Structure 1
Amino acid sequence: MKSEVITPHPSSVGKAYHRNRLRRMVRNKWLYIMLLPGLIYFIIFKYIPMYGVLLAFQNYQPFLGFLNSEWVGMKHFDRFFGDPLFWMLLKNTFILAAYNIFFFFPLPIIVALMLNELRIEVYKRFIQTLIYIPHFMSWVVIVSIAYLLFTTEGGVVNEAIAAFGGEKIQFLASPEWFRGFVTAEVIWKETGWGTIIFLAALAGVDTQLYEAARMDGANRFRQLWHITLPAIRSTIIVLLILRLGNFLDTGFEQIWLMLNPLNREVGEVFDTYVYSTGIAQGQYSYSTAVGLFKSVVGLALVFGANYLAKRFGEEGIL
């Protein structure tokens, strides 16, 4: 006689699943309560403002409001893509963003690896504190320091060049120096702070792996290449994907402070253009369309980088 297999009804399975999930939530209620402030922050400051994206498809008039302003569809996008300034803005933004990816992004990894090799704890802490300090300075201070060092009117560097018989160089007004200066300032300000995540990842590497490698005759470089870097590879990939999401965010405040009429041709980017058209000239709908274009490009880069990461066997972020 065959035994009959009793299959539970799908509705009963679903109810049991929801009951178990509710029990887990009650059991971990304090974790969910701790999650609330961050969740509220993102809802108020990240999700609710998305309603303002409607401006990109309207001829927004402040006295008419969102609902009564005229809908114009893709008019502002057509105007932006047809503007000769579009290609200049795209070129300048992409070049500065590429500089940040290729020159700045690897440096926190390298510095973190170097700090991880230090064995004198006091010296290591001192170096960490020293390189964290620039992060807490505002861009106004950073640009002011650059001005005091490199201006032709009493700048330390130019005065030293003149003292050795050379000719003063227009560092701050020359288009050839602008992108290098912007990238160098970012490196000086943020490299130390960027090491924090990588140092935290390095702290989780199993020390027994290093001991086994030393017993097999591996030197410090071999240990770094075969143990340390693979251990933090997933962290590097995730941070690179997140960095690509902000690829076109070159930093408004820094660029705006560094701009002048002589270097504007290579320094004007989407962020400064949005400010000058949206705030200074009151073209809210047009500047919203420009900002939305930036966001769409960043989203596409995140999905593309995440797809490539998964294709190469990494976890990614999605």
Structure 2
Amino acid sequence: MATLIEAEAASGGADITPRPQNRRNVRETIVRYRWLLFLMLPGITYFALFRFWPMYGAQIAWRDYIPFLGIQGSEWVGWKHFEDFFTNPDFPRLLGNTLILAALSLFIAFPLTIVMALLLNELRLNILKRTVQTLVYVPHFLSWTVVVSLTGLLFAIGNGPLWTWLNDLMGTEINFLADPAWFRPLIVLQDVWKNTGWGTIIFLAALASVDQEQYEAAIIDGAGRWQRVWHITLPSIRSTIIVLLILQTGQILNTGFEQIYLMSNALNRSVADVFDTYVYFVGIQQGSYSYATAVGLAKAIVGVILIFGTNWIAKRFNQTGIF
């Protein structure tokens, strides 16, 4: 039989020897894409060490964790720490402070990012456009320690330039850094100054893909600049806006530990305490590791629910979601 098959193949007949179709050897695939896999290695290592491996320790939220006994040696207490957190008298205040700061960031800082991208996109002089882009990107690379230090210098009592100007304007003497009424406006202003320029990068990339023929056709039809922005530019980046909004909603309880911690003090603590700082004070300073883990885990679960819920709403309105 083998002789007949070889003879038929040699004579130009059909090769009936079974061969795997649409399969690639794993080794050949790895060799072929070795450099891409090598570039992925740092990212995979980062997420494995700092995102997935710590999940093992999340179980201490259900244990009365004692470092000397270890995770497995600590007593299992079930939902005790979660119940203590939700029944804690500080919970309503922490939730209110966190949601207010998150809402201010979502409804002020996020739209300003879109506005900044639209303004930069309308600049036609490349030198001016690149100069403005560089100036608005630079604050992102400053640490929150530097940003808060600059804020302290600008609003320093007695000699701060902004403190002097605002007090002369209002005719009063206000300690902006300690007044609870000014804590949230300062947080939002810092966030806008530091992150708005950097957040425009994704929107500018989306705007670069807009078909220029649409603008030319609109100009021929007599559309003004505002009409072109409203009817062409914004619809073209709508999917990008929705995806980033969904991701931003998932981070709504992450108000940022460093900024809040550095800006808070004994006088504005009533409005400055949020979940992130509370976890630090309770977990690190007081040593309640299990309780702090339960708080952080509850916050993360709420974030996941918000992502799925916002994505579901976007899908219900026939918009592009993240999955």
Q: What TM-score, normalized to structure 1?
A: 0.90
Give the aligned partner of residue 6 of structure 1.
Answer: none
Q: What TM-score, normalized to structure 2?
A: 0.89
- Whether 2:50 is the aligned partner of 1:45: answer yes
- Whether 2:69 is the aligned partner of 1:64: answer yes
Task: State which structure, 1 or 2, has the greater radius of gyration over its C-alpha atoms.
Answer: 2
* Structure-2 separation of matches of 1:315 and 1:206: 20
Give the aligned partner of residue 267 of structure 1.
Answer: 272
Q: What aligned pairs does 1:76-87 form with structure 2 within 5 A after superposition? A: 76-87=81-92
- Whether 2:228 is the aligned partner of 1:212: answer no
* Structure-2 separation of matches of 1:237 and 1:20: 38
* Structure-1 separation of matches of 2:28 and 2:106: 42
Residue 117 of structure 1 deviates from its aligned partner by: 0.4
Q: 1:282 to 1:117 in 2, by over 3 A?
A: same
Give the aligned partner of residue 241 of structure 1.
Answer: 246
Secondary structure at the aligned position of 2:237 is classed as helix
* Structure-2 separation of matches of 1:112 and 1:154: 36
* Structure-1 separation of matches of 2:243 and 2:169: 48
* Structure-2 separation of matches of 1:141 and 1:209: 44
* Structure-1 separation of matches of 2:46 and 2:164: 49
Segment drifting more, 56-65 vs 210-219 = 210-219
Residue 36 of structure 1 deviates from its aligned partner by: 3.3
* Structure-2 separation of matches of 1:228 and 1:23: 46
Residue 154 of structure 1 deviates from its aligned partner by: 2.3
* Structure-2 separation of matches of 1:283 and 1:177: 32
- Whether 2:124 is the aligned partner of 1:140: answer no
Q: 1:79 to 1:165 in 2, by over 3 A?
A: closer
Give the aligned partner of residue 122 of structure 1.
Answer: 127
Residue 231 of structure 1 deviates from its aligned partner by: 0.9
Give the aligned partner of residue 107 of structure 1.
Answer: 112
Question: How many equivalent pairs are there?
Answer: 304
Q: 1:198 aligns with which of 179, 203, 218?
A: 203
Give the aligned partner of residue 292 of structure 1.
Answer: 297
Residue 38 of structure 1 deviates from its aligned partner by: 2.0
- Whether 2:295 is the aligned partner of 1:278: answer no
Q: 1:28 to 1:206 in 2, by over 3 A?
A: farther
* Structure-1 separation of matches of 2:313 and 2:226: 29
Segment drifting more, 192-201 vs 211-220 = 211-220
* Structure-2 separation of matches of 1:165 and 1:47: 52
Segment drifting more, 194-203 vs 37-46 = 37-46
Residue 21 of structure 1 deviates from its aligned partner by: 9.3
Structure 2: runs of 5 or more not aligned: 1-17
Structure 1: runs of 5 or more not aligned: 1-11
